[in-house]
Amino acid sequence: MDLRCAGMLCVLCLILTVRAFTQERFKEVVLKQLGLSEVPKLHKRDLVDLVIPEHVKNKYMSMLKHQRVKRRALPSLAGILRGIPGHTGEVHYSNSTTRQKLMFDMEGRIPKNSEVTMAELKLFKKPLDRANLPAKQFHRPVSNARVSVYWVQRQHDGTNRTSLIDSRLVPIRESGWKSFDVTQAVHYWLRNKRQEPMFLEVWIEGERVGSYASEMAKAVRFTSQDPKDKALGKPELVLYTLNLDDYGSPGDCREEAVMGKSTCCRQKHYISFRELSWAQHWILEPVGFQAYRCSGSCLQLPGTLRRLGSGQRSCAVAGSSALPIIYLVKRGNRTEIEAAEFPNMIVESCSCVTDG
């Protein structure tokens, strides 16, 4: 690790281990990491009809999937497969994109004292109806459509905000089950603690810019939740849950850690970008993240060793991982959308270290 990364990690260690978390200090770290001197000054016109460019979306999803693979460790015996039936939803079509709304009743589906290690959305792609294909023209062949899954958050003012969860290319001429990783959406729903279903949106778009690719994408049809849709394969939400009583991670805090009665451990600490006034408009994805922090006490060294120069032992960050984001940046009169990866933003492990 070079000195710059080590220095940044130390700053984040201090932020994530103290209880008195300050927005201002966190803002300084974020701006420094992006090479910005201040929060971008945006106008209403900068936020109207925002469309994330395809290359930015691809870069973000690539970074996000890399982090998921690194962090996920599905237990071979403890993973419990739970199918969640869907409820009636709506399907909307427009000239430029196909959008399908999904609703899943989550109440009572996740056992107490368990952790959702993975969530999978399974959609059944109907056989291709060639009548839906546009007339053949002199265009480059189009083989795929881009299918993206968004989590929908209902605001108190009645509006909706969406967050990109997964995105992939789906062959237009193939039928059958297609799976999407929606773990992040379930974690968002759990974070909100609302007594309401989980809402998702499926967007079907052209694999590249242009009217022909967009028209080809309209031929992609998934079985909907609507009871009138008699096709096989209704949408399914599958959860893999871990029983923490039997398989809880020894490195994560139990409830007693909140009272400061445990040994050094990793404690949950969620940061919501949409609740931070300085970040809610220009950090587009994710809506927030589980940063964690280190908490608990450490066994102290004997007094004779401390007199020889060793200080107090304290609980600190021992390992961390990066957080991918999509954000807006002002360059002169232009507003651009970019993807970046913040190193050392998610605490992965904690340990006792000696001061000095």
253-296: pLDDT as tens digits: 776 545 545 578 888 888 888 888 888 788 888 888 888 888 88
- Which band of pLDDT confidence, cut at 50, 70 and 90, is reported for residue 94? very low
- Which band of pLDDT confidence, cut at 50, 70 and 90, is reported for residue 310? low
Rounded to whole angstroms, the Cα distance separating 45 from 240 reads 42
User: Look-up: residue for tokens 């490195």?
Assistant: 251
Q: Which CATH number fits domain 78-243: 3.90.1640.10, 2.60.120.970, 2.130.10.30, 1.10.260.40?
A: 2.60.120.970
Whether 23-73+247-298+311-354 shares its CATH topology with 78-243 is answered no
- Which band of pLDDT confidence, cut at 50, 70 and 90, is reported for residue 8? very low
Listed in sequence order, the residues at least 6 apart from 211 whose beta carbon sits closer than 8 Å to its beta carbon are: none
Residue 251 and residue 266 in contact, taking contact as beta carbons nearer than 8 Å: yes
Q: Is the pLDDT of residue 298 over 90?
A: no
Report CA dihedral (40, 43, 48, 50) to the nearest 10 degrees.
Answer: -20
- Which band of pLDDT confidence, cut at 50, 70 and 90, is reported for residue 246? low
Q: Is the pLDDT of residue 300 over 80?
A: no
Which among 31, 106, 115, 107 has a CA at the least distance from the CA of 78? 115
Higher pLDDT, 16 or 294: 294
Tokens representing 164 are 């990109």
Average pLDDT over residues 244-259: 58
Pairing of strands 198-206, 176-181: unpaired
Among 147-156, 298-307, 329-338, which stretch is predicted with the lowest mean pLDDT?
A: 298-307
pLDDT of residue 241: 74
Render pLDDT for 130-186 as a digit per residue (tens, 0 to 9): 777 777 766 778 889 999 999 998 777 777 888 899 998 999 888 899 999 998 898
Higher pLDDT, 81 or 12: 12
pLDDT of residue 202: 93
Residue 30 and residue 342 in contact, taking contact as beta carbons nearer than 8 Å: yes
Q: What CATH number has the domain spanning 23-73+247-298+311-354?
A: 2.10.90.10
Among 31-40, 250-259, 307-316, 324-333, which stretch is predicted with the lowest mean pLDDT?
A: 250-259
Domain limits, the chain: 23-73+247-298+311-354, 78-243
Q: Is the pLDDT of residue 86 over 60?
A: no
Rounded to whole angstroms, the Cα distance separating 166 from 62 reads 10
